[in-house]
Structure 1
Amino acid sequence: MQVQTEHSQPLTANAKASNDEQPSWVSALQTSLDAMRDKLEKAQHNMDAKLDQIGRRMEENLRGVREEMGQLREYIDKHGEDMKQRLDSFREETNRNFETAEAEMRAQKKDMEILEERTAGVEEWSTDVQDIITASLEQQTKLQDKLSDIEGRSRRNNIRIWWLKEGIEGDSVSE
């Protein structure tokens, strides 16, 4: 593919190469964006792991509760009133465990919402920065085209003829 200037002249190889190069701040900005994206992905992974851990704890607690409830029924049948008191304390403990797990889940949900807000902000910022970079690169291309045109025009009037003495042309250059 050959890039054309405003006057339909092909750009030189150096001009093409400089079109493909990005300024260092663009690379630094892209690196920064990639690092932020990696951090957000790690945070998402950590939150998913914590939520999985909480879910496993809740399942383990539920299994334990069911097993203990079966044992308690047998014991209650044998021991009556004393068992009712112990059962009440067990229920309170179980409720506390569920409340703790629920509080942890609420905290995780809050963290997820914060991360989602931050991610949305970074994505919006990234879009704005990409638009600015695109506009800057377009402006750079236009300026490079103008520079190439100016250089070409400045060279047109610089003709040297060797082995002829100065002023030999007289009144007519064509003769």
Structure 2
Amino acid sequence: MPKTQDKGSSAAKAINKEADQAGNQSEVAEGRRNPGTSIDPGDIIRAIKELKTDLKGDNDCLRQKMNHMGQEINGKLDNLMTEMQSLSNRVGEAETRVEQVEGCALEATGAICTCLEQQRIQQQKLTDLESRSRRNNMRLFGMAE
């Protein structure tokens, strides 16, 4: 059944289409136009030219904005490069100072180790001398001085 309905509806559409075309032809022949059904080619060309002009203006505006943004970005990049260079210099100076401090710390550690070794040796000598000096202090009872 659906096939017969499709045939009937397509036939009805074809009849309606023919009637519309006949009506449009009679209106054109009589000089009457429905708005939106037919447009003068000159109006279409003018509308296209206006759109073209508007698009060119919009493109110019966008181009200017993009150029301005590009200049801002370049300025900010230049500032960042300057700051990076400054920070790089500061880090280089800090690394140099750290190397100097590490060198001084190594020298100080070596000097402290040497001093501690000398102190240990001196302490041993002192202990030995104290022990020897006590040995020489003999007391003899019954002898006159």
Q: TM-score range by the shorter chain?
A: 0.5 to 0.7
Q: Which residue of 1 aligns with 2:129?
A: 150
| Identical amino acids, percent of aligned pairs | 29
Aligned residues: 90
Task: Give, in whole Å, the separation in 2 of the partners of 1:77 and 1:152.
Answer: 109
What TM-score results when the alignment is normalised by the length of structure 2? 0.56
1:91 equivalent in structure 2: 70
What is the Cα deviation at residue 160 of structure 1? 2.5
Show structure 2 runs of 5+ residues with no match: 1-54
Q: Cα distance 1:77–1:137, how it changes in 2: closer, same or farther (>3 A)?
A: farther
Which residue identity does 2:136 align to in structure 1? N
Distance 2:57 2:115 in 1: 84
Report the counterpart of residue 165 of structure 1 in structure 2.
142
Unaligned segments of structure 1, at least 5 residues: 1-75, 168-175
**Is structure 2 residue 89 aligned with structure 1 residue 110?**
yes
Q: Pairwise CA RMSD of aligned residues?
A: 2.0
Q: Could you tell me how far apart the structure 1 residues matched to 2:139 and 2:126 are?
A: 24
- Whichever structure has more helix as a proportion of its residues is 2
CA distance, structure 1, for counterparts of residue 115 and residue 56 of structure 2: 82
TM-score for the superposition, normalised by structure 1: 0.47
Residue 82 of structure 1: how far off its partner (Å) = 2.2
Summarize the Cα distance change of 1:94–1:77 in structure 2 as closer, same or farther, 3 Å threshold. Answer: farther
Larger RCO of the pair (alpha carbons < 8 Å, separation 6+): 1
